[in-house]
A and B are shown apart, each in its own frame.
Chain A
Amino acid sequence: MAAIEILGLEKIYSVGFWRKRPKRALHPLQLKVEEGEIFGFLGPNGAGKTTTLKLLMGLTFPTGGSARILDMEINDPRMKAQIGFLPEQPYFYDYLTARELLEYYGQLSGVPAKERSRKVGEILARVGLSDSANVQLRKFSKGMLQRAGIAQAILHDPKVVFFDEPMSGLDPMGRREVRDLMEQLKHEGKTVFFSTHILSDAEILCDRVAIMNLGQLRGVGAVSDLLSSVRGKVELVWQGTVVPAALRALGADCHVMGATVRAVLSEKDQDAAIEALRRERLRLVSVIPVHMSLEDYFVEQVKPAQAKAGVSA
């Protein structure tokens, strides 16, 4: 059974004064997330990540398509008892203390009264808020609110956890702690679905990622599979300061570095470039494959569509 199954989910908003102008926030989206995965939902601002999460949480209604979580409809209260959600830049009832907030959410999630107090204490310790348990949230920093948000999302021991930009507002130590927490959740058998635009976090954490841009899915798969699906680049280094015209014609990115030249070009042009160096009688020092990072892949997927949108806009 898939933990999350999105079947052509689509959202079109009506904008303008008379609400007659349609604005497509999400093109029909097909996506499946297996149980026990850490799944990264990546994309720049306006990619449709938060829209998708809001649709899955039943906060907005889809224009088309449907979704199932743990094989239940998205508005099924039985399903909602088994999921946790951290919204982007969370804001909570600031007149409550962290402990009262978690007690309240525990009540709403149906955590039995005799377990609630113990669970709240444990979760506060887990997110590093034990010392601030009795402080009103209005006195919390952004990072502390984010921790409180994470605490409320996992308090009731959900099977699937949705985090919208969980690293936002956290310092490097806080980010590290959240990454560790997500890995712990995975080891506990939970499914973690999180949106982010911090690619390094996704690269470290995720079993699979989906890349969204302008409301459309641009790619989905394991990070290694996505990167190997794209032909990489190679780095050539030769002695001297001469850059043959043929290499420039191949689109190589060349830099003279003292007594050597470093050029990065597409792997498919590697043989032609080496041949050009031989013709010029230049001494080749090294040929090294350049590993593509998730960031390179992301830019490659996102940039053309954004440029097109920029042109048409």
Chain B
Amino acid sequence: MNHRIFHIATNTFREAVRDRVLYNLIAFALLMSGAAILVGQISFGIERLVVINLGLTAVSLFGTVIAIFIGIGLVSKEIDKRTLYTVLSRPVRRWEFIVGKFFGLSGTLVVNTFFMAIGVFAALLYVSRHFQKTDGWILVALYFIVLQFLMITALSLLFSSYSSPLMSAVFAFCVFVIGSFAEDLRGFAAMTNGFTRWLATGAAYLVPNFSALNVISVVAHEQPVSAQLIFYNTAYALIYATMAICGAVLIFEHRNLK
């Protein structure tokens, strides 16, 4: 990685940490501890299923909220506060700034996910007293969740590069919700005809397909995830995030800073 991108990413990570973003881990830890104790008391035979489902869904939601709320301010906040002036007047190219910001927030989310994953496994250990071989698939689900974060971060940056934080948040949440039902949207498109079909198909392929990345239920039922799906999801998420970042760079390269 280019050293300027690395320094911008490191500073973005430091900002998130000092803004107490990782404090969400406390809430997550409380949630997982409470769930583990409660589940152990009220459910018989499905403790593991409940803990995995609840834990991974919480990891996904916590991370998504962080990705959107920090992502939408990554560029606009720097423009509003004019901190960008002293960065871009140095030998830093605009694309390096965007890519550095992306890596910084992605790194924050990876660290955050790592600690939350420890929480999930700890809760799982508490309720079932031991790990099973199939628990390894939870790591795949977590990997897909991280891929989802990369896409959301990239999209938030894209929106942030031309829109206000409020509108960026609205756009990002809409895309997240629609993307979570992307498979349904594709199914709907297949059932329609004419212009509606064209429109629905276009929308279905434009929004990120988060439902393909959601294997929480699969791993909770101790079912394996195919290597092919891992490969396709990785390629899809990386290509999608790269395209969103390219869009953000293209917009930002031509933007007059107020």
Give chain A's interface residues, CB within 8 Å of chain B.
13, 54, 57-61, 77-78, 80-81, 83-85, 87, 90-93, 95-96, 104-105, 107-110, 149, 152-153, 162
Contact = CB atoms under 8 A, between A and B. Distances in A.
Contacts, number: 74
Given A85-B85, A85-B86, A107-B3, A77 B91 contact: yes
A78 B91 CA distance: 7
A49 to B, nearest CB: 15
Contact of A59 (B3, B7, B19, B88): B88
Classify the secondary structure of B's interface with A.
Answer: helix
A144 B84 CA distance: 19
A61 B90 contact: no
A93 B83 contact: yes
B87 interface: yes
Given A58-B89, A78-B91, A107-B7, A91 B83 contact: yes
Interface stretch (B10-18, B39-47, B131-139, B170-178): B10-18
B4 A108 contact: yes
Interface of B: 3-4, 7-8, 11, 14-15, 18-19, 81-93, 254, 256-257
A104 B89 contact: no
Contacts of B91: 77-78, 80-81, 108-110
Looking at B8, B90, B256, which has the most chain A CB atoms within 10 Å of its CB? B90
B257 A108 contact: no
A251 B166 CA distance: 60
A87 B90 contact: no
B25 to A, nearest CB: 19
Which of A61, A108, A152 has the largest number of chain B CB atoms within 10 A?
A: A108
A60 B256 contact: yes
Contacts of A78: 91
Given A54-B257, A87-B85, A93 B11 contact: yes
Contacts of A83: 89
25 contacts: A13-B256, A57-B85, A59-B85, A59-B256, A60-B256, A60-B257, A61-B254, A77-B91, A77-B93, A78-B91, A81-B91, A90-B85, A90-B86, A91-B81, A91-B82, A92-B86, A95-B14, A95-B15, A105-B86, A105-B90, A108-B4, A108-B87, A108-B90, A108-B91, A162-B89
B19 to A, nearest CB: 7
A229 B155 CA distance: 59
B7 A104 contact: yes
Nearest to B93: A77
Given A59-B88, A60-B256, A105-B90, A87 B4 contact: no
A155 to B, nearest CB: 10
A77 B18 CA distance: 31
A207 B257 CA distance: 31
Given A90-B86, A91-B83, A108 B92 contact: yes
A19 to B, nearest CB: 12
Given A95-B18, A95-B19, A104-B11, A80 B89 contact: yes
7 A-B pairs with least C-beta separation: A77-B91, A85-B89, A95-B18, A60-B256, A107-B7, A80-B91, A57-B89
A90 B82 CA distance: 7
Nearest to A81: B91
A78 B90 CA distance: 9
A110 B89 CA distance: 13
A204 B88 CA distance: 31
Contacts of B3: 107
A80 B96 CA distance: 15
B17 to A, nearest CB: 9
B86 to A, nearest CB: 6
Given A91-B83, A105-B90, 5 more contacts: A77-B91, A85-B85, A91-B81, A104-B7, A152-B86
